[in-house]
Amino acid sequence: MGFKQDFVWGAATASYQIEGAAYEGGKGLSNWDVFCKQPGNIYENHNGDVACDHYHHLAEDVALMKELGIKAYRFSFSWPRLMPQGTGTVNPDGIRFYQTLIDELLQNGITPYATLFHWDYPYALQKRGGWLNPASPQWFAEYTETIIGLFGNKIKHFFTFNEPQCFIGLAFTGREMAPKLQVTRRDILQMAHNVLLAHGKAVQLLRAGVPGCKIGYAPTGSTYIPASNSAQDIEAARKATFTVDVNGDWPMGISWWSDPIFFGEYPAEAAQAFGDDMPAIGPNDMKIISQPLDFYGHNIYNSTPVKMGENGQPVVQAFKPGHPRTAVNWPITPEGLYWAPKFLHQRYKLPVIITENGLSCHDVVSLDGKVHDPNRIDFTQRYLQQLQRAAQDGVEVDGYFHWSLMDNFEWAKGYSERFGLIYVDFETQKRTPKDSFYWYASIINSNGSLL
């Protein structure tokens, strides 16, 4: 048995990375609009002002999705495009844009999987303290209600947040994400709590407002693979995947962001270690946060090998010299797509959807006018084979969204990285499907049997 008959083959994008039209159609400023204009934040001071100009190429882009044969498209709403000030007034042009997108998708037989928030935060709300403001979960609830009122009759699949590990964890430990601030651990924990509350409130509203909808979450988080097939190393990988590294990079881990949602409590040992830095938790907070979900989404690109140490703790293993890497030096570790879904399914007991997976290559348009990207085909084939193996082993795997449908604005790396199945010439906006596009189409068409 491989992938189930109704396996969801998809591709993903995010609003700020593709839409462009940053100052058009009544859109409000986002944190990323502002961040990109501060010299030094982004590779060669690129920005998302135009990006893939998807705002004006929507019909062409959906036609390409149809040609690709994807069953589902994961996109995100731009909060400031819909609500320029973050709360209050709703922008009619923003409504029209998403209405057209959703209608085009449905007319072409592509199921919309909408992410409510993929990092472009209304600047008006950032100025009011953003996720640190106690009202922030309510702001998000209002935004969610707006989406439900506008599109709830047509969209039945939702993800609340994309990678809180990055828009909180990286962004507020001074790393490359907007607004790139270094704040105290106490503030990060408070923001995390507010994001989790916002997630829970959104789920409650979606359940009530969109009967029968399916809801997930699209976190990421470091994942680990066993260095050998021994039971000890497998246990080491599981342990490393779910340990909260309180003295290290805990905001990039999985459990701090997922245990409260699925178990209704923060990881106890870590919470104790954080001591007085822990936020005040209201009597209903954990109940709100832990609304049942329908699937476990995970964005995964690579994993780290570990062995069980003599002291019963996982020990990270270095990659062998010459280990395969992507164009931007990310290690290639296909087995991660076997072990991570397995561990996540065992722990959180929900079907798994891979909400992102892919790689950046040095793609060029060749003299024959085509884009030959054998590395992307090889990478994706290896990863999908491992996902298939997980499915064969009984892990409930519901879907896979390739990152990304098209080359786009790769945050702090600007346009220096190309993650797409479709090549985008950012000068002319010409789209050229890469070889991997046709390969992926054939895999979808065979429901994975050609892997």
Q: Which residues bind ligand NOJ (CB under 6 A)?
A: 14, 17, 162-163, 299, 356, 403, 410, 419
Smallest distance, Å, CB 84 to ligand NOJ? Answer: 22
Nearest to 316 by CA among 300, 301, 305, 324: 305
Q: How many CB atoms lie within 10 A of CB 63?
A: 14
Smallest distance, Å, CB 283 to ligand NOJ? Answer: 34
If you ran DSSP here, which 8-state letter would residue 314 be given?
A: E
Smallest distance, Å, CB 169 to ligand NOJ? Answer: 12
> d(Cα 198, Cα 191) in Å, to the nearest integer?
10
Judged by beta carbon, residue 17 or residue 243, the one nearer ligand NOJ is 17
Judged by beta carbon, residue 291 or residue 299, the one nearer ligand NOJ is 299
Judged by beta carbon, residue 138 or residue 416, the one nearer ligand NOJ is 416
- The DSSP secondary structure of 1-15, one letter per residue, reads --S-TT-EEEEE--H
Smallest distance, Å, CB 72 to ligand NOJ? Answer: 17
- The DSSP secondary structure of 142-157, one letter per residue, reads HHHHHHHHHHTTT--E
Smallest distance, Å, CB 2 to ligand NOJ? Answer: 26
Strand, helix or coil for residue 224: strand
> d(Cα 343, Cα 296) in Å, to the nearest integer?
11
Smallest distance, Å, CB 151 to ligand NOJ? Answer: 21
Judged by beta carbon, residue 15 or residue 146, the one nearer ligand NOJ is 15
Nearest to 65 by CA among 445, 406, 403, 409: 406
349's torsion region: left (phi>0), alpha (psi -120 to 50) or beta? left
Query: Quick check: 278 and 271 in contact, CB under 8 A?
Result: yes
Query: Quick check: 139 and 85 in contact, CB under 8 A?
Result: no
Query: Quick check: 246 and 277 in contact, CB under 8 A?
Result: no
Judged by beta carbon, residue 135 or residue 327, the one nearer ligand NOJ is 327
Judged by beta carbon, residue 104 or residue 407, the one nearer ligand NOJ is 407
> d(Cα 139, Cα 160) in Å, to the nearest integer?
14
Which residue carries 């021994």 as its tokens?
230
Active-site residue list: 163, 356
